């Protein structure tokens, strides 16, 4: 009984501050149905292929898109640590995405934003292990940045969706 009362109090407090569930209505809600209408434009390179797949997995796109997500990626690896023999001991891989949500009906840019993340990589004596770590970091960063993009698009949709009576 105390737990139900506490949950009711929290719910009442959150409703008073203007917070609303992002995915209210589940798969039939405004945000989920709009995300399913987003098509991901092809993105260049290996990082682009990984990013496009991560976005498609998260958007669950339908057959008839109303919007297109255009993305330009910037993928960099920079050496940070240096050993006594002047070889690099640590790298930072950075993946940045500049993206636009475009309305296919009129070509209007609805959202223009950027997201990004980075990961540290230890450089070891085995070149194979270092390359594998760089690839794993890219896969992980693609998922992180895709999550950021989908969250930003979902927030935009929620803010611009018409109010239900």
pLDDT tops 90 at residue 30: no
- Per-chain mean pLDDT for the chain: 84
Q: Has residue 119 been placed in a domain?
A: yes
Report residue 157 as tokens. Answer: 């949709």
Query: Is residue 58 within 8 Å of residue 50, measured between CB atoms?
Result: no
The number of domains in the chain is 1
**pTM (two decimals):** 0.80
| Angle between the N-to-C axes of helices 45-59 and 127-160, in degrees from 0 to 180, rounded to the nearest 10 | 40
Distance from C-alpha of 3 to C-alpha of 71, rounded to nearest angstrom = 45
Average pLDDT on 2-25 reads: 54
Is the pLDDT confidence value at 165 over 50? no
> Which has more pLDDT, 31 or 95?
95
DSSP assignment of the chain, as one string?
-HHHHHHHHHHHHHHHTT---TTTTGGGSHHHHHHTTEEEPP--HHHHHHHHHHHHHHH---SS-SEEEEEEEEEEEEEEEE-TTS-EEEEEEEEEEEEEEEETTT--EEEEEEEEEEEEEE--S-HHHHHHHHHHHHHHHHHHHHHHHHHHHHHHHHHHSPPP-
CATH of the domain at 95: 3.30.160.150
Q: What is the DSSP secondary-structure string of 119-151?
A: EEEE--S-HHHHHHHHHHHHHHHHHHHHHHHHH
Does residue 9 carry a pLDDT above 80? no
Is residue 1 one of the residues assigned to a domain? no
Residue 165 falls within a domain, yes or no?
no
132 within a domain of the structure (yes/no): yes
Range of the domain at 44: 24-160
Least confident of 11-15, 39-43, 86-90, 141-145: 11-15
Q: Which residues pair with 103 in a beta bridge?
A: 67
Q: What is the mean pLDDT of residues 91-119?
A: 95
Q: Is residue 2 part of a domain?
A: no
Q: Is residue 72 part of a domain?
A: yes
Residue 14 has pLDDT above 70, yes or no: no
* Residue 15 in domain: no
Residue 7 placed within a domain: no
Q: What is the pLDDT confidence band of residue 147, given thresholds at 50, 70 and 90?
A: very high
Instruction: Name the residue among 37, 48, 69 with its Cα closest to residue 149.
Output: 69
């Amino acid at each position: 009984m105390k737990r139900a009362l506490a949950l009711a109090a929290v719910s009442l407090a959150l409703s008073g501050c203007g917070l609303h569930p992002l995915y209210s209505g589940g798969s039939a809600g405004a945000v989920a149905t709009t995300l399913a209408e987003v098509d991901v434009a092809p993105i260049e390179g290996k990082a682009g292929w990984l990013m496009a797949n991560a976005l498609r997995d998260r958007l669950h796109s339908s057959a008839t898109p109303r919007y297109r997500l255009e993305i330009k990626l910037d993928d960099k690896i920079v050496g940070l640590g240096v050993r006594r023999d002047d070889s690099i001991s640590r790298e930072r891989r950075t993946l940045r995405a500049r993206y636009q949500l475009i309305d296919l009906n009129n070509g209007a840019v609805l959202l223009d934003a950027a997201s990004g993340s980075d990961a540290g990589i230890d450089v070891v004596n085995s070149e194979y292990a270092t390359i594998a770590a760089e690839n794993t970091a890219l896969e992980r960063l693609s998922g992180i940045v895709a999550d950021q993009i989908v969250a930003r698009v979902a927030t935009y949709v929620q803010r611009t969706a018409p109010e239900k009576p």
